[in-house]
Structure 1
Amino acid sequence: MTSPTVATTPAAPAPAIRRCQPYLRLHWTDSRTDAVGYLVVHTLRGGLATGGTRMRAGCTLGEVEDLARGMANKTATFDLPIGGAKGGIDFDPKDPRAVEVLERFCEAMRPWLDTHWVTAEDLGVPQHLIDQVFEKLDLDQSYHAAIRRSADPVATLARVRNGLNAAVDGGFLLGDVIGGFGVAHACLAAAVQWGLAPADTTIAIQGVGTMGGAAAYYLHEAGMKITAVADAAGTLYRAEGLDVPALLDLRDGYGEIDRSRLPAGIEEMPRGAVLSADVDILVPAAISYAITPDNSYDIRAHVIVEAANAATTPEAEAMLAARGVPVLPDFVANAGAVAWAWWLLLGEVDDSPDTSFDRLRTTMHDKVAQLLTAWTEEHITPREVGHRWADDPSPLTGPVVIP
């Protein structure tokens, strides 16, 4: 394994997460199941905020607040004319009542979904499911609050649907893979910055759902060697590199790989083993707060690229920075999906995958290069640089105009 050149002086510790108060917090309790849900609007710009809706057992208000703050950072960092929000439901998405719980949550949040909150998929809630719920509520599609503002809502809805459902190589849909494509190019940009050829770069990915799976696919297509992937059942390892497309074909609807059909030569390891894999780049793409002070000592990767929201705790990030390990923050590395969605809404890209891929590739490489240049030359953590971008968003006057 070739080691990249990193800052010889430890970078400044990652700053504590900014704790400015959200614009709005809403709390909901489902009378039929006792499920609890939250909407947090961190910032409202032009009357709009954007952020997905997640469902998992144990989801908390604090978690949703952190995620909404991250969404506000994403929209500001990518110069999008909206604020950041997040929805969360404390309920098991595998429970047979989960769809009905999601429907009742969206019905309760309808005043915000109708006029201010643009939501989408997140952990436990795939895009096709939330779109089904919106259709049932006569809201057409989960970008409804933005689409209804456009000069021609019918044409805008058609553009959005065509973009989300555009076919791409591998048998995927553009809307399902664009976020992972962005993560993959954050990794590729890091390799370029440190002079690593794709074939000489090793990767470990925690999570092979929508985001992690797409990132794995595009990294494999680029020639990088993915030696370890993990899902809820454990870590799969092969020193020579995994056949990523074959493994992705074995996933179920929850992003878990069928162990009974694994190709030969793959070693099965505990779930946490992916974090300590001896690789160049570690991609946590599963859950929030995956990297903590306790397990940060085990990490051997030279850079961490956050594909999951809030994947690294502030304390763990400070410890990693002191060791010379940068963390490319989620609000840059995994922001491709939200940036692309708004480019699509605003008519800046169409349903051509090549147009979308080209714009996101260029944007991601530029931002990662700036982050890592500041890390190596000025000893400033990528998160702090990203926060400086987010703290100085482009000016916005009046409501958001959607063509």
Structure 2
Amino acid sequence: MTTTMERGFGAGPDDREAGNREPLLRMTWTDPVTGAHGYLVVHTSVSGMSTGGTRMRAGCTMSEVEDLARGMAAKTAVFDLPVGGAKGGIDFDPKDPRAVGVLERFCQAMRPWLDTHWVTAEDLGVPQHLLDEVFGRLGLQQSYHAAIGRSADPERTLRRVHDALNAPVPGGFLLGDVVGGYGVAQACIGTMHAQGWVPSETTVAIQGVGTMGGGAAWYLHEAGVRVIAVADALGTLYCADGVDVPALLALRDGYGEIDRSRVPPSVQQWPVGAVIGVAADIFVPAAISYAITTDNVDQVVAKVVIEAANAATTPEAEAVLTGRGIPVVPDFVANSGAVAWAWWVLLGHVGVDPDDSFLRLRTEMLAKVAILLERWVLYGAAPRRTAWELVAAHHSASVPADPLAVQVLTIP
């Protein structure tokens, strides 16, 4: 195993956009068995702690992980969480039979950070149950280990986290698997309210049917919204009258792909990229980063884009959309429900009752999206700019003198 590490100290807390600030740390790891590269980027640290998921995909780069860590720093700030932002990434195919071994060796190499400074969770290609299995084999019990270890009663906090993640919700799902998608659905509903649209008359197209996209589709369907298209790695499924979301989600395999042999004939099957051009009121990219670029932005005909995937729209493409009058609700607001909820659970702000979690997330997401869309409607202010202003207003802790110093963080 080899690692390389860089540290940097960026601009101060008055920087409105975290994108103008250098990360605290960039680390590159090389797997001694497969030669795969892994990355850890710590963008900000609060009380010596940062949070952000670990993803695995072929082609993952340091630049990608750095963008995602920057987004995590914004998410924790906009929800006023007592933690900084980080991200892990591994350049490896999660379908490769060696993938679990690569993930375990990566976590072992990151052990000094995972022990006390970095709280990680599921992300693209790395489901939470697999991550927790790896942590268990490493003697760390659960991927929130670093935060749990700081609590007054670690065993009680671990039980609360475990029970909350595994709390059953309607549809046969677990709360930890769908809470992020629920937050995205609320971002969509908040947008409808701001635009004066009736949910039952609003159409949505969703790229991705994993935990985020699938959860969003489920809860939009439950709210009476017409989901007219969903897309996975195999293609786009479209029905002008609305797809049967529960039925299609029930056809997913372990990789989040829908069994095409069982899709009803009323649903049209289009190419993968066709979902971007679906004439829906709202388009939700919920699968991959950089889904909307200058190469395909002209295909977007939706009235609003809501980013459920991290860094779903490149800056250049977003500028084009904004110029065309299409607002983009940024990822660090729309898909931040999962990280906000995880820390509410850790801090004891919510318990194991899903209704309490849904109520808090719904209340906070609707309020934040209302601010973004109100300023867009009244003044033409891009939602991302307004969101960065929320970050500046709520990011009470910037880069401390010693970014790894363990300061007071109370976890009951």
**Structure 1 length-normalised TM:** 0.95
User: Equivalent residues in 2 for 1:89-238 (5 A)?
Assistant: 89-238=90-239
Residue segments in structure 2 that go unaligned for 5+ positions in a row? 1-15, 401-406
Asked if the contact 1:17/1:314 (under 8 Å) is kept, the reply is no
Identity between Structure 1 and Structure 2 (%): 66
Q: Offset of 1:195 from its aligned partner?
A: 1.3
Q: Which residue is equivalent to 1:314? A: 315
Q: CA offsets per residue over residues 7-35 of structure 1, 9 Å max, x none?
A: xxxxxxxx998231100111100011011
Secondary structure in structure 1 of the residue aligned to 2:230: strand
Residue 66 of structure 1 aligns to which amino acid in structure 2?
D
Residue 103 of structure 1 aligns to which amino acid in structure 2?
E
Match of 1:402 among 392, 397, 411: 411
Q: Which residue is equivalent to 1:371? A: 372
Q: CA offsets per residue over residues 217-272 of structure 1, 9 Å max, x none?
A: 00001001111110011100111110000000000111110101112211110111
Q: Which residue is equivalent to 1:274? A: 275
Q: Offset of 1:292 from its aligned partner?
A: 0.5
Q: CA offsets per residue over residues 67-105 of structure 1, 9 Å max, x none?
A: 000000000000000000000000000000000000000
Q: Which residue is equivalent to 1:83? A: 84
Residue 123 of structure 2 aligns to which amino acid in structure 1?
D
Residue segments in structure 1 that go unaligned for 5+ positions in a row? 1-14
Q: Offset of 1:196 from its aligned partner?
A: 1.1
For 1:83 and 1:18, locate their aligned partners in 2 and report how far apart those are by CA, in whole Å: 14
Q: Which residue is equivalent to 1:341? A: 342
Secondary structure in structure 1 of the residue aligned to 2:164: helix
Asked if the contact 2:81/2:343 (under 8 Å) is kept, the reply is yes
For 1:121 and 1:181, locate their aligned partners in 2 and report how far apart those are by CA, in whole Å: 16
Q: CA offsets per residue over residues 188-240 of structure 1, 9 Å max, x none?
A: 11011111111100000000011000000000010011111100111001111
For 1:334 and 1:175, locate their aligned partners in 2 and report how far apart those are by CA, in whole Å: 14
Q: Which residue is equivalent to 1:386? A: 387
Q: Offset of 1:399 from its aligned partner?
A: 2.4
Asked if the contact 2:17/2:388 (under 8 Å) is kept, the reply is no
Q: Offset of 1:352 from its aligned partner?
A: 0.3
User: Equivalent residues in 2 for 1:45-60 (5 A)?
Assistant: 45-60=46-61
For 1:128 and 1:358, locate their aligned partners in 2 and report how far apart those are by CA, in whole Å: 25
Q: 2:369 matched to 1:360?
A: no
Asked if the contact 2:78/2:395 (under 8 Å) is kept, the reply is no
For 2:332 and 2:281, locate their aligned partners in 1 and report how far apart those are by CA, in whole Å: 21
Asked if the contact 1:16/1:314 (under 8 Å) is kept, the reply is no
Residue 401 of structure 1 aligns to which amino acid in structure 2?
T
Q: 1:16 to 1:291 in 2, by over 3 A?
A: farther
For 1:358 and 1:333, locate their aligned partners in 2 and report how far apart those are by CA, in whole Å: 16
Q: Offset of 1:134 from its aligned partner?
A: 0.4
Q: Which residue is equivalent to 2:10? A: none
Asked if the contact 2:60/2:90 (under 8 Å) is kept, the reply is yes
Residue 230 of structure 1 aligns to which amino acid in structure 2?
A
For 2:377 and 2:195, locate their aligned partners in 1 and report how far apart those are by CA, in whole Å: 10
Secondary structure in structure 2 of the residue aligned to 1:372: helix
Asked if the contact 2:18/2:74 (under 8 Å) is kept, the reply is no
Q: Offset of 1:392 from its aligned partner?
A: 3.0
Residue 46 of structure 1 aligns to which amino acid in structure 2?
S
Q: 2:346 matched to 1:327?
A: no
For 2:289 and 2:84, locate their aligned partners in 1 and report how far apart those are by CA, in whole Å: 21
Q: Which residue is equivalent to 2:7? A: none
Q: 1:159 to 1:388 in 2, by over 3 A?
A: same
For 1:380 and 1:299, locate their aligned partners in 2 and report how far apart those are by CA, in whole Å: 20
Secondary structure in structure 1 of the residue aligned to 2:289: coil
For 1:400 and 1:383, locate their aligned partners in 2 and report how far apart those are by CA, in whole Å: 30
For 2:346 and 2:340, locate their aligned partners in 1 and report how far apart those are by CA, in whole Å: 10
Q: Which residue is equivalent to 2:249? A: 248
Q: CA offsets per residue over residues 279-310 of structure 1, 9 Å max, x none?
A: 10000000000000121111110000100000
Q: CA offsets per residue over residues 294-351 of structure 1, 9 Å max, x none?
A: 2111111000010000000000000000000000000000000000000000000000
For 2:372 and 2:288, locate their aligned partners in 1 and report how far apart those are by CA, in whole Å: 24
Asked if the contact 2:341/2:361 (under 8 Å) is kept, the reply is yes
Asked if the contact 1:206/1:229 (under 8 Å) is kept, the reply is yes
RMSD: 1.2
For 1:215 and 1:394, locate their aligned partners in 2 and report how far apart those are by CA, in whole Å: 27
**Structure 2 length-normalised TM:** 0.93
Higher relative contact order (CA 8 A, sep 6+): 1
For 1:336 and 1:275, locate their aligned partners in 2 and report how far apart those are by CA, in whole Å: 24
For 1:352 and 1:229, locate their aligned partners in 2 and report how far apart those are by CA, in whole Å: 30
